[in-house]
Amino acid sequence: DLLHEAFGDGTLHLTHEILHPVHHTIMALPGAPLSGIKRVLSHPVALGQCRIWLSEHLPDAELVSAWDTAGSAEIVAQEKNPALAAIAARPAADVHGLVPLAERIEDDPTNQTRFLTFTRADEAESLRTPGATRYKTSLIVLVDHKPGMLALTLQAFGARGVNLMALQSRPERSAPWTYRFYVDVEGSATDPRVSEALEEIEALASKLIVLGSYEAWTEGSRLSAPVPPPAHRVEKPSIPLVDRRRNPEGTVVQVRGLKFGGPDPVLIAGPCSVESETMILETAVAVAQAGADMLRGGAYKPRTSPYDFQGLGVKGLRYLADAREKTGLPIVTEVLSWEEVPVVAHFADMLQIGARNMQNFSLLRAASRSGKPVLLKRGAGATFEEWLGAAEYVLAEGNPNVVLCERGIRTFERATRHTLDLNAVALVRERTHLPVIVDPSHAAGIRSIVIPLSLGALAAGACGLIVEVHPDPAQAMSDGAQSLDFAMFADLARQVHPGRTGKAGRTGKTGLKAVGR
């Protein structure tokens, strides 16, 4: 409340913070034994910070609140009562002639007090610490009483990779049902990402007060690395990051030891949608035994109709993770929006950017910053250059692990769902260093030609395939017409990996041979 009332008009600026360790000592008159203490005086906060120690060593003592810790020591010295003790800082015992009975009795060994210094806003710049590399920014945000307003406000930081360091709330007295939030974030208000976030918050919030940016206190703290500038503000490279001249030998992207761009084609298989725990586990075991290298499955599904099955969400992600545990297959799954990136990245080994989201630039940046390898599908209406431009976004954010996926483009031909552009596959190998795989299932829309398209894709230079497989395609909740059954997938796997007997070593570790539906 004091911060808001004193600094809400912008005339004062926060310039420094000091984090001071706070250790509590219980002290009494010389000669007074701990067992004889009947009353303990201290500030109520200090008493609360020592509650565990007091309950163990002085369970019957009366706890008396005082205005000050040092003042409590002074009272004990004045009253000359050997049954009276005070909790204060260790130097207070020396000042008032008391004897420590026990030191560092606080419940939390990291206990500390935060001190802040302020100056007039027009003098704040001159007080910035020269050469400081780690800054914090403190602000007050007032948001309306509407669903999701706080989340929407904080997403401005999360979307830009700005670390949230503290969050406290108070009801706003001047406006009922409005809340005031005290926020600390890592970085200076002049940093591009922080300043962009503040601009966005200013448009969303009822009121934004930036208390100040200052050097973060780093002694004993655990600050993350300094926030890099946003990708769209870095200098344009003389040679595009996707260009093959940057790595003539070609990039190899590894996912849990699996190599995209290595000597062997990668075979990814699984259902369009994760429909149930039993279904995804049955499919995972079947494709692993047939020779798949990786498991696919949609937990979040972008559907043309809002009335179609949209996926199981987080529950589906958990089922995928369980299937990975039981089969050893890494998992790749689609993420639909940048807000979902953290939770999907928590479960998945690789993030898929679907065709509809190929030019969702916020999602591309967020997926890149997750640190997980990214499978980037080509949009049905995207040109070759637009596809590579989307990959450039991911690379520019610092993530080199990008795998391209050709999944068919829209042409005048309607006999199939799309037209598989094998020209693009060969061209990717010629012009970029990134590995490229093919999705024949979505290109065809018809399961009968998925295997021929798969073999043609490998002949054109694709380093892998991602195909849809379902235990009972006729009953699939999505894309059943293009999904292979287990027998058809086993036939494809034998042709892609001649002589391979499947992932017996992976499935064998759990003893799984088959799962009933």
What is the tens place of the pLDDT at every residue in 430-448?
999 999 999 999 999 999 9
Left if phi > 0, otherwise alpha if psi is -120 to 50, otherwise beta: which for 31?
left
Local confidence band at 328 (pLDDT 50, 70, 90 cut-offs)? very high
Local confidence band at 509 (pLDDT 50, 70, 90 cut-offs)? very low
Q: φ, ψ for residue 335 (rounded to 5)? A: -115, 135
Q: Looking at residues 8-24, what average pLDDT do you find? A: 79
Q: Looking at residues 34-40, what average pLDDT do you find? A: 96
> What pLDDT is attached to residue 122?
58
Minimum mean pLDDT range among 247-256, 264-273, 297-306, 454-463: 297-306
Q: Is the pLDDT of residue 227 over 50?
A: no
> What pLDDT is attached to residue 180?
84
Q: φ, ψ for residue 419 (rounded to 5)? A: -115, 120
Question: DSSP characters for 41-56?
Answer: EE-HHHHHHTHHHHHH
**Which has the higher per-residue pLDDT, 123 or 372?**
372
> 495: closest CA among 460, 465, 461?
465
pTM given for the model = 0.67
The strands making up 207-215's β-sheet, listed across from edge to edge, are 164-171, 179-186, 135-143, 207-215
> What pLDDT is attached to residue 312?
85
Cβ within 8 Å of residue 131, ≥6 positions away: none
Minimum mean pLDDT range among 6-10, 83-87, 192-196: 6-10
Q: Looking at residues 394-415, what average pLDDT do you find? A: 95
115 is catalytic: yes
Local confidence band at 300 (pLDDT 50, 70, 90 cut-offs)? confident
> What pLDDT is attached to residue 307?
64
Domain 2-18+118-230 top-level CATH class: alpha beta
Average per-residue pLDDT for the chain: 87
Going through 359-445 in order, the beta strands assigned E by DSSP cover 374-377, 402-406, 436-438
Q: Where are the domains of the chain?
A: 2-18+118-230, 23-103, 253-498
> What pLDDT is attached to residue 111?
86
**Which has the higher per-residue pLDDT, 344 or 171?**
344
Q: Is the pLDDT of residue 249 over 90?
A: yes
Domain 253-498 top-level CATH class: alpha beta
Q: Could you report the per-residue pLDDT of 306-326, keeping only the tens digit for each?
A: 666 667 888 999 999 999 999
Two tokens at 516? 């009933």
> 334: closest CA among 293, 295, 304, 375?
375
> What pLDDT is attached to residue 302?
67
Question: DSSP characters for 259-314?
Answer: EETSSS-EEEEE-SB---HHHHHHHHHHHHHHT-SEEE-BSS---SSTTS----TH
- CA-to-CA distance for 372 and 504, rounded, in angstroms? 27
157 is catalytic: no
**Which has the higher per-residue pLDDT, 307 or 428?**
428
Give the residue carrying structure tokens 């235990």: 471
Largest Cα span, the chain: 99
**Which has the higher per-residue pLDDT, 385 or 173?**
385
Q: Is the pLDDT of residue 486 over 90?
A: yes
> What pLDDT is attached to residue 480?
86
Q: Which of 113, 278, 501, 510 is catalytic?
A: 113
**Which has the higher per-residue pLDDT, 302 or 216?**
216
Minimum mean pLDDT range among 13-17, 239-243, 277-281, 441-445: 13-17
Q: Looking at residues 45-71, what average pLDDT do you find? A: 95
Q: Is the pLDDT of residue 1 over 60?
A: no
Q: Which of 11, 115, 218, 278 is catalytic?
A: 115
Q: Looking at residues 144-170, what average pLDDT do you find? A: 86
Q: Is the pLDDT of residue 2 over 70?
A: no
**Which has the higher per-residue pLDDT, 225 or 336?**
336
Minimum mean pLDDT range among 175-189, 480-494, 502-516: 502-516
Q: Can 23-103 and 253-498 be said to share one CATH topology?
A: no
CATH of 23-103, one of 3.90.550.10, 3.20.20.10, 3.40.50.300, 3.40.190.10: 3.40.190.10
Out of 195-209, 223-237, 278-292, the most confident range is 278-292
Minimum mean pLDDT range among 83-87, 327-331, 507-511: 507-511
